[in-house]
Amino acid sequence: MAYDGFVVTAVTRELNDRLLNGKIDRIYQPAPDELVLHVHSGGGKYRLFISANPSHAGMYLTEEKESNPPNPPAFCMLLRKHLQSARIRSVQQVDSERIIQIDTDATNELGFQVRFRLITEIMGKHSNILLVNIETGKIVDCIKRLSLDTNRYRQTLPGVSYVAPPSHGKRSFFNLEKEDFVQAMQEAGRSPEKNLVSCVQGISPMLASELCFRASYKYGNDFKTEELWEELTAAVLEIREGELFPAVYRDREGTPKEFHALPITMYADNYESEPLSSISAACSTFFEGRESSNRMHQRSADLRHSINTSLSRMLRKKQNLQEDLLQAEDSEKYRLYGELLTAAIHLVPAGATSASVPNYYDGSTMDIPLDPRFSAAKNAQLYFKKYGKSKTAIVEKKKQLEENDLEIDYLESVLAMTEQASTSEDLDDIRAELIDNGYMKLRKSAVRKKKNKSTRTATPLPADWKCWSAGIILKTTS
C-alpha cells in the first residue's frame, strides 16, 4: 500500500483547502477502528473518513455512506462531547511522516474555549487515532489503548502525555541535505530501494522502486547516489508545489493494485492508469472498492463454510453410492450360482465349504463358495435372495445417485452466487434459503426484518427433484 508521506502531504494540502475553518457537524464510528466526520465548510458539506484499520489506514474525503451501529461506541461519544461543533483551525503533517494532526477550537460545557488535536497515526498494524488536549499535551482518549506491557516506548492511554512514534533515525524528505542523503545511503550498504526506505522518512517501498526506475531510465542501471538524489528532490518539488497526478492503477482484470499522488511510470506496461480529480478520490476509489469486496467476503464466510461442508458431504455420499452401485451391478454371478447349485444338489456333500459343479451354459466347471452350516439347496436360496436384493439395490442406488447429483449442482450454484453477492441483502436471501432447506441453523439472535413491499420466501426442495439450473430457488410474492 502506498499511503506514504507523499500521499499524506497531498491529503493535508487538500484538507486545508476544503476544511479550513469548517465546523464539525456530526461524528460517527461505523467500525471499531474507523471514524467519519461530517464537516460544513465554505458552503459545502464534506465527509472526512479516518481509519486506523491495518489493511486500509488513512484519511481522505469520501462520498461513501457508511452504515453505523445502533449504539455509538464510547470513543465516538467522547469525540462528540469534545469535537461536535468545533472549528478546524489547521491540518498538518508531522515532518514527512504518515501522521496527520487536525487542530480544532471547541467550547466545553462551561462555555470556555478548549483546543483539541485529533492525531491520526498511519503505521500499518500500529495505526491509531488519538484525541489530545493541546494545552496540557495529554491524551484525552484513543481508538486503540496501549499500555507499556504492549509498547515499551510509549503508552497511549487517557491522561498520559502524548509521545510521538519513534523516527528510527530517518530524515524528513522536506529538509534533507544532499550530504546527509549520500552518507546515509552509503552507510546502509543495501540495494538503493531498501536504502531509500530505511533512510528517508515517509517513502514507501513502491515509491522507492519508482524513483530507482526513473533514475535507471535516465542514467542506466548503474546510476549513482547523486543521480538518485536528483530524482528524489524532483519528486519532493512536485509534491511540495502541488504538481499532482492522482491515479489508481489496475491490472488487466480491473482490480485496483496501487494508487499514488505522483505518476508511477514503472506501471506503464503492466497496469492501466485511472486518473482521478483529487488524491481523496484516488484513496476512495482504491480503498473502498477493495474493502467493499473484502467485507462482503468476510460476511459470507459462514455461508461459504456451511455450503462447502454440505458439498463435501454430498461428494462423499456420491463416491459411496458409486461404489455400492458397482458392487450391486456385479450381482449376476449370484443368480448363476443359485441355478448351478440347484441343478447339482446331488453332487454337493453336506458341510462342504465349496462345490465344483458343471456350468451347463459353457460346459466348464465352476467353483462356488458355500456356507457349511446350510445344505446345498439352502445355499442356492441364499444366492437367489442376494441376487434379488442386488437388483433392487441397483434401482435404488441409481435413484439416490441422481438426487445426490442434483443436490450437488444446487449447492455449487448457491456457492457461486454467494461468491458473486454484492450486497448484504443478497447474502441475507441466500442465508434464508439455506436455513429453510436445512443446510444452516437459524441463529438464536437472528431477527428477520419484515419487508413492506415484498416478501422473499424459499421453496423447499421436493423429493422428486428434476433440475434447477438457475441456482437458488426464490420466489417473490406481493
**pTM given for the model:** 0.66
Q: Report if residue 148 sits inside a domain.
A: no
Q: For 13-25, b where at least 16 C-beta lie within 10 A, e where not — what string?
A: bbbeebbeebebe
Q: Are residues 330 and 466 in the same domain?
A: yes
More confident residue, 17 or 168: 17
d(CA 312, CA 108): 61
Q: How far is CA 38 from CA 33, 61, 101, 135, 348, in A?
A: 17, 10, 17, 25, 98
Write the CATH number for 31: 2.30.310.10
Q: Are residues 226 and 98 in the same domain?
A: no
Last residue in a domain, options 241, 275, 299: 299
> What pLDDT sits at residue 206?
94
Cell match 491495518: residue? Answer: 54
d(CA 346, CA 359): 15
Residue span of the structural domain in which 316 resides: 301-477
pLDDT in tens, 345-365: 888 888 888 888 888 888 788
pLDDT in tens, 183-231: 888 776 678 898 899 889 999 999 999 999 999 988 888 888 899 999 9
Q: How many domains does the chain have?
A: 3
458 within 8 A of 330, measured Cβ to Cβ: no
Q: Which of 129, 12, 39, 38 is nearest to 78 (CA)?
A: 129
Q: Are residues 184 and 61 in the same domain?
A: no
Q: Are residues 266 and 398 in the same domain?
A: no
Across the range 224-247, mean pLDDT stands at 92
Please state, for a pLDDT cut of 70, what percent of the chain lies above it: 88
Confidence of residue 169 (pLDDT cuts 50, 70, 90): confident
Q: Are residues 30 and 72 in the same domain?
A: yes
247 phi, psi to nearest 5 deg: -160, 155
Confidence of residue 450 (pLDDT cuts 50, 70, 90): very low
C-alpha cell of 33?
477502528
Q: Are residues 36 and 52 in the same domain?
A: yes
Contacts (Cβ under 8 Å, ≥6 apart) of 288: 62, 64
> What pLDDT sits at residue 208?
93
Q: For 134-168, b where at least 16 C-beta lie within 10 A, e where not — what string?
A: beeeebbbbbbbbeeeeeeeebbeeebebeebeee
pLDDT in tens, 76-134: 999 999 999 999 999 999 999 999 999 999 988 888 999 999 999 999 889 999 999 99
State the amino acid at position 199 in one-letter form: C
Q: Which of 7-16, 50-59, 178-187 has the highest mean predicted lDDT (pLDDT)?
A: 7-16
Q: Report if residue 320 sits inside a domain.
A: yes
Q: Are residues 339 and 290 in the same domain?
A: no
